Amino acid sequence: MLSIIDRYIIKKFLSTFFFMLGVIMMFAIVFDVSEKLGEFISNKAPLNEIVLDYYVNFIILYGNMFTSMIVFLSVIWFTTIMAKDTEIIPIWFSGKPMSRYLRPYFIAASILMVFSLAINHIMVPRANKVRLAFEEKYYRDVMVVQDYHAEFPENESVYFSNYTNSDGRVNDFTFQKWSQAMKPIYFLKARYALNEPNSKKWILNDLYEKRFFKDSIAIRHIKTLDTSFNFSISDMAQRENTAETMTYSELNDFISREQAKGSSMVPIYQIELHQRTSYPFAAYILTLIGVSVASKKRRGGVGINIAIGLGIVFVYIFSMKMLTVASLNIGFPPLLSVWTPNIFFAFTALILFRFSQK
């Protein structure tokens, strides 16, 4: 059963959160429009697509992405005001355990965490699919892939020197196949290749091929060849944020396929997978830190508490980025790179709360 003070704190928490979310999203949209308006106009993007396909999904993505940070700032803001108005002292000296004071905070944080977790795994991938399709059509720069090499199932490998999505041309396309004993079976090299859209059919130009037999090798030169492979250009040429459009199960399957190919992008995709869960859970940690920082009445009021809070947020974000770079460059496990900041700041939050009680 919630007491009056529980309902009061929960109401303050949620109302402050949604107010700050609205203000931050409004400024984010203003800055984004100022940056991209010229591209939208030059590419003749329809207004209804700008609003419905892009900015509605923009709000879903970035509003959810910054949920934990907005939770933190919200807690600091309204708790500092409560401390300034001497509303916290009677609560702390009511004779009830200090953990009881945290209950309404964690109830509100749980509501926002569950909401964010559901959006991260269900709504955001679908929203990103629509948003990125809009960007690809009206805003994106040309995608260029260079020096691509990958291993595919059934002992097949592919290499090409470069590809651009503007003309769809794959230059220096090379395909090789080996037997189970890793002896060469087939080799093909084309000056350039074209993949028919949304299919695994290919048109190869100016190519030569080798077929390896037990006692001989057959070589021939072909001007043009229509053929099929077990892959398409979309399996090889992808933007880094492709993973953002996939649901949890789709992303897991995609990571398995990329690992089989030996793709260097696997850590990026694994980080994306783990962040979908770690970011929402950060709401609990940042709520406890916010309560600990803001519950004391300080000279400077809201300003000094927000300054302290922003300093903690900066260190938190810096640690996440540093560990992400470590995962990409020196092989630090993606799971640890994502969860280590949460674990470290969880202990920090407990220490800060202990000191705040004194």
pLDDT for position 358: 54
Instruction: Please state the length of the chain.
Output: 358
User: Measured between alpha carbons, how far is 355 from 295 in angstroms, rounded to an integer?
Assistant: 11
Distance CA 134, CA 53 (A): 7
Which of 96-105, 137-146, 289-298 comes out lowest in average pLDDT? 137-146
The per-residue pLDDT for 275 is 84
pLDDT over 70 at 356, yes or no: no
Beta-carbon neighbour count of residue 97 at 10 Å?
A: 8
Instruction: Report the side by side order of strands in the sheet with 184-195.
Output: 144-152, 156-164, 169-178, 184-195, 201-212, 217-228
Pairwise CA distance, residues 61 & 55, whole Å: 10
pLDDT at 2 over 80: no
Q: Which of 82-91, 153-162, 203-212, 243-252 has the lowest mean pLDDT?
A: 82-91
Q: From 291, 327, 267, select the one nearest 83 (Cα to Cα).
A: 291
Alpha helices in the chain (DSSP H): 4-42, 47-48, 56-65, 67-84, 88-92, 98-118, 124-138, 248-261, 266-294, 302-329, 334-357
Residue 32 · residue 58 · CB < 8 Å: yes
Give 11-69 as a DSSP string.
Answer: HHHHHHHHHHHHHHHHHHHHHHHHHHHHHHHHTT--HHIIIIIIIHHHHHHHHHHTHHH
State whether residue 177 is helix, strand or coil: strand
Range scoring the smallest mean pLDDT among 89-103, 285-299, 330-344:
89-103
pLDDT band at 94 (very low <50, low <70, confident <90, very high): low
Quick check: 326 and 148 in contact, CB under 8 A?
A: no
Question: 117 versus 152: which is more confidently predicted?
Answer: 117
**Tokens describing residue 191:** 């000056």
pLDDT band per the 50, 70, 90 thresholds, residue 239 = low
The DSSP output letter for 294 is H
**Residue 303 confidence (pLDDT):** 67
User: Average pLDDT of 270-284?
Assistant: 85
pLDDT, greater one: 161 or 300: 161
Residue with tokens 């470290």: 344
* 19 alpha carbon, distance to own chain's centre: 24
Pairing verdict, β 184-195 and 217-228: unpaired
Q: How confident is the prediction for the chain on average, in pLDDT?
A: 81
What number is the average pLDDT over the span 125-137?
84
Backbone conformation region of residue 21, classed left if phi is above 0, alpha if psi is from -120 to 50, else beta: alpha
Q: Of 15-29, 92-106, 181-195, 207-221, which has the strongest mean pLDDT?
A: 15-29
Residue 298, CA distances (Å) to 74, 301, 306, 309, 348 in order? 18, 6, 11, 13, 20
Better-scored residue on pLDDT, 41 or 306: 41
Higher pLDDT pick, 294 / 302: 294
pLDDT at 136: 76
Q: Using the predicted structure, report yes or no on whether residue 229 has a pLDDT greater than 80.
A: yes
Which tokens belong to 154? 């059934």
Neighbours of 219 (CB within 10 A): 9
CA neighbor of 318 nearest in space, from 344, 294, 293, 287:
344
169-221 residue pLDDT tens: 888 888 888 887 778 888 888 888 888 877 888 888 888 888 888 788 888 88
Q: Give phi and psi for 186, each to the nearest 5.
A: -150, 140
Q: What are phi and psi of 296, to 5 degrees?
A: -85, 140
Parallel, antiparallel or unpaired: strands 169-178 and 184-195: antiparallel
- Give the span between the Cα atoms of 232 and 236, in whole angstroms: 7
Q: In this predicted model, what pLDDT tens digit does every residue of 295-327 receive, in sequence order?
A: 766 665 566 767 777 777 778 777 877 877 777
